[in-house]
Amino acid sequence: MTEAIVLTVTLIGILGVGAQWLAWRFNLPAIVLMAIAGLLIGPISGILHPEDTFGDFYKPMISIAVAVILFEGGLQLKFSELRGLTRGIGRIVLLGGPLAWLFGSLAGYYIGGFSWPTSIIFAGIMIVTGPTVIMPLLRQAKLSSRPSALLKWEGIINDPIGALAAVIAFEFFHVQANPGLTNFEMFGSLLVGSFLCTIWGIGVGYNLARAFRSGWVPEYLKSPILLVAVLLAFGFANYLQEEGGLLAVTAMGVTMANTRMPSINQLRHFKENIAVMLIAGVFVMLTANLSFEVLGMLDWRAIAFVLAMLFLVRPAAIMLSTQGTNLTLSERIMVSWIAPRGIVAVAVSGLFAASLHAEDGITDGELMVPLAFAMVFATVILHGFSIAPLGRMLGLASTLPPGVLISGASPWSTELAKKLNELDVPVLITDPSYRRLRDARHAGLETYYGEILSEVTEHHVDFVRFGSLLALSGNEAHNALVCTDLAPEMDRAKVYQLYSGGADTSRGSVSSALQGRTLLSTETSLEELMRLHWAGYRFQFTRLTEEYPPETYQGALADSSLIVLVHRKGTILFQTAEAPLSLAVGDRVLAYVPPDDPKKIQNEDVTPSADVIALEEKKQAAMDKLTP
Class of domain 403-612: alpha beta
Contact (Cβ atoms closer than 8 angstroms) between residue 128 and residue 344: yes
CB-neighbour burial class of residue 609 (10 A; exposed 0-12, middle 13-18, buried 19+): middle
Per-residue pLDDT of 75-93, as tens digits, reads: 777 766 555 455 677 788 8
Contact between 468 and 405 (Cβ < 8 Å): yes
Each residue's pLDDT tens digit, 415-424: 999 999 888 8
In this predicted structure, the answer to whether residue 566 has a pLDDT above a threshold of 80 is yes
Q: Is the pLDDT of residue 114 over 80?
A: yes
Bridge partners (DSSP) of residue 497 are: 471, 518
Are the folds of 56-393 and 403-612 the same?
no
pLDDT at 387: 85
pTM comes to 0.66
Going by C-beta distance under 8 Å and a sequence separation of 6 or more, which residues neighbour residue 9?
281
Q: Is the pLDDT of residue 595 over 60?
A: yes
Which residue would you say has higher pLDDT here, 472 or 86? 472
Instruction: State the pLDDT at residue 602.
Output: 44
Q: Tell me the average pLDDT across 506-520.
A: 70
Q: What secondary structure does DSSP assign to 333-366, as a single string?
A: HHHHH-----HHHHHHHHHHHHH--GGGT-S-GG
User: What average pLDDT does the chain have?
Assistant: 80
Homologous superfamily assigned to 56-393: Na+/H+ antiporter like domain (1.20.1530.10)
Average pLDDT for residues 274-302, to the nearest whole number?
A: 78
Domain layout of the chain by residue ranges: 56-393, 403-612
Dihedral pair phi/psi, residue 265, rounded to 5°: -70, -40
What local confidence, expressed as pLDDT, does residue 620 receive? Answer: 44
Supply the Cα-derived Rg of the chain in whole angstroms: 28
